């Protein structure tokens, strides 16, 4: 019986598993409810890579996307740090890029979406950001831009979703996208939001943020879900060239005891 992969509610089901395969596969567990082996959908890339390396034949019924050609309406002339960030991410096609606010993270994402050529789901924390992303993406791409959030349910080959809406849809749409972009990705390790990444098979993942550090110290969870920190530029490195000069000033405030 040939091994086959199936997407099911944010997981990969493996049918036709032989005992001899188990020594090569990690993160696989037996599900007594369905009499099949399962693994989180996020393990898809690692799973398929191992199967190919070990020459284990399999049928892939999990992936429901293919390569796309995204035509840009106008050329992008990236700044040097954007080119460096793109090159760093494209070496593995997964990882976190840290750039200061205003340094052009959205344009970097446009470049990488076009270069990767896979159906893409962009995650954003707010409806306002969802609309801003759609405006920029529509400016550069010929393809229609879908939206998930704010009462809109329109899935396209390039779609922008709030984290909340992506979480709702990942159990049945987690096999439709090959590239996930997480804007303000420091939100991703949250108890709920991380399932938007765990429940998707997308092999390519881009995290964008100005501040990957979290108060709860869960940065490592972010890197496990998106890939390692692959490029970082601090605000002081761009001040006066790309960004306007700035001054850091500390203002002390006396707090009343017991005050609100």
pLDDT in tens, 204-246: 999 999 988 888 888 899 999 999 999 999 865 654 455 445 5
| Level-2 CATH architecture, domain 3-60 | 3-Layer(aba) Sandwich (3.40)
Domain edges within the chain = 3-60, 80-238
pLDDT above 80: residue 258: no
- pLDDT above 60 for 260: no
The pLDDT-based confidence of 19 (bands split at 50, 70, 90) is: confident
What pLDDT score does 240 carry? 45
Confidence (pTM): 0.90
pLDDT at 248: 54
Angle between helices 80-90 and 105-116 (to 10 degrees): 40
Residue 192's pLDDT is what?
94
CATH superfamily of 80-238: P-loop containing nucleotide triphosphate hydrolases (3.40.50.300)
Quick one: pLDDT at residue 239?
45
Question: For residue 168, what is the enclosing H or E element?
Answer: helix 163-173
Q: What is the DSSP string of 178-239?
A: SEEEEETGGGTTSTTTHHHHHT---SEEEEEES----TT-THHHHHHHH--EEEE--HHHHB
Residues 92-122 have pLDDT tens digits of 999 999 999 888 999 999 999 999 999 999 9
């Amino acid at each position: 019986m040939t091994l086959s992969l199936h997407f099911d509610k944010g997981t990969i089901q493996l049918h036709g598993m032989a005992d001899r395969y188990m020594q090569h596969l990690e993160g696989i567990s037996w599900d007594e409810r369905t009499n099949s082996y399962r693994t989180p959908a996020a393990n898809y890339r690692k799973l398929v890579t191992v199967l190919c390396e070990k020459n284990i034949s399999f049928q892939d019924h999990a992936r429901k996307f293919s390569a796309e050609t995204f035509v840009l309406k106008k050329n992008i002339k990236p700044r040097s740090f954007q080119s460096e960030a793109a090159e760093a991410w494209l070496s593995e096609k997964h990882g976190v890029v840290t750039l200061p606010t205003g340094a052009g993270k959205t344009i970097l994402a446009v470049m990488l979406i076009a270069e990767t050529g896979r159906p893409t789901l962009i995650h954003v924390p707010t409806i306002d950001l969802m609309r801003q992303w759609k405006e920029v993406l529509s400016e550069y791409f010929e393809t229609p831009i879908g939206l998930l959030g704010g009462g809109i349910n329109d899935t396209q080959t390039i779609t922008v979703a709030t984290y909340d809406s992506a979480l709702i849809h990942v159990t049945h749409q987690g096999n439709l996208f090959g590239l996930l972009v997480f804007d303000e990705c420091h939100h991703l390790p949250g108890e709920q939001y991380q399932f938007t990444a765990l429940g998707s098979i997308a092999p390519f993942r881009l995290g964008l943020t100005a501040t990957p550090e979290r108060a709860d110290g869960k940065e490592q969870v972010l890197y496990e879900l998106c890939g390692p920190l692959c490029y970082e530029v601090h605000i002081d490195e761009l001040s006066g060239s790309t960004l306007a000069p700035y001054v850091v000033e500390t203002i002390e405030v006396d707090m009343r005891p017991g005050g609100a």
